[in-house]
């Protein structure tokens, strides 16, 4: 499973990237706002740091303007993935940019039918938003399952990028279902390492080691 990091904070990306944990990065206008950085500059910095796809989102809402913005973002670096919203205009722009050989991430997907359209439009990635569905008492994970089934039924190559991940269980369930990629905030990825029995076991081993009076180095 590929891990993308959902942030525009360079330090956080660098820390995980140094561990070999980062297969790509996703940003969105809210994350750019949070970073306080210029989108073109910060996207270039991320692309220089990370080998994999780096999603940068357009903000136009009409297809031709989306295409113009997408082309400009794609000029930043070869690993830029143009992020487009799942609207009819977004699908039109997806089709054009994909035919130009650019990677496209279709975002803000909340239904399996939307995901089916994105695959037909040639999207490289589809981003179903799990957490935002859970927030309104719908089942985000059920959407990932439905998309996996539909894509497998017809052999679509669009990669399922499970997004809006809020917990380690969202990652575990996405892995079980067979999402191709997850994108999560760095703190959620780091939380995957936590287990109380690991902490308890380590405390016991260290206490016993102290009693041996030995040193390794």
Q: Does 158 bind ligand E4P (CB under 6 A)?
A: no
Q: Does 23 bind ligand E4P (CB under 6 A)?
A: no
| Residue 83 is a catalytic residue | yes
Contact 69, 90 (CB under 8 A): no
Among 114, 127, 158, 159, binds ligand E4P (CB under 6 A): 127
Contact 173, 141 (CB under 8 A): yes
Nearest-angstrom CA–CA distance, 79 and 53? 5
Between 30 and 113, CB nearer to ligand E4P? 30
In angstroms, give the least distance from the CB of 94 to ligand E4P: 15
Nearest-angstrom CA–CA distance, 90 and 69? 12
- For 192, half-sphere exposure in the C-beta direction (CA atoms, 13 angstrom radius) is 18
Lay out the site mask for ligand E4P across 27-66 (x = CB under 6 A, - = otherwise): -x--------------------------------------
Between 129 and 156, CB nearer to ligand E4P? 129
In angstroms, give the least distance from the CB of 124 to ligand E4P: 13
Between 192 and 203, CB nearer to ligand E4P? 192
Nearest-angstrom CA–CA distance, 185 and 206? 32
Between 110 and 156, CB nearer to ligand E4P? 110
In angstroms, give the least distance from the CB of 163 to ligand E4P: 4
Which of the ranges 42-50, 109-117, 126-134, 144-152 carries the binding residues for ligand E4P, by CB under 6 A? 126-134
Q: So which residues are the catalytic ones?
A: 83
Which residues are near ligand E4P by CB under 6 A?
6, 26, 28, 107, 127, 129, 131-132, 163-164, 183
């Amino acid at each position: 499973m590929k891990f993308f990091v959902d942030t525009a904070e360079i330090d956080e990306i660098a820390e995980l990237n140094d561990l070999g944990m980062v297969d790509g990065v996703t940003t969105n206008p809210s994350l750019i706002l949070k970073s306080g950085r210029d989108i073109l500059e910060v996207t270039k910095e991320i692309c220089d740091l990370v080998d994999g796809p780096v999603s940068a989102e357009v903000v136009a809402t009409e297809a031709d303007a989306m295409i113009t913005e997408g082309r400009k973002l794609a000029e930043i670096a070869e690993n830029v993935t143009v992020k487009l919203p799942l609207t009819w205009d977004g699908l039109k722009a997806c089709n054009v940019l994909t035919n130009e050989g650019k990677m496209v991430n279709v975002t803000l997907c909340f239904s399996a039918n939307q995901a089916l359209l994105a695959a037909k439009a040639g999207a490289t990635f589809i981003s179903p938003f799990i957490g935002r569905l859970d927030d309104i008492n719908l089942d985000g994970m059920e959407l990932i399952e439905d998309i996996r089934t539909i894509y497998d039924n017809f052999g679509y190559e669009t990669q399922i990028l499970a997004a809006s991940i809020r917990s380690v269980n969202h990652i575990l369930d996405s892995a079980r279902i067979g999402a191709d990629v997850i994108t999560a905030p760095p703190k959620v990825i780091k939380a995957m390492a936590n287990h109380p029995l690991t902490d308890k076991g380590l405390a016991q081993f260290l206490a016993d080691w102290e009693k041996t009076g030995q040193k390794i180095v």
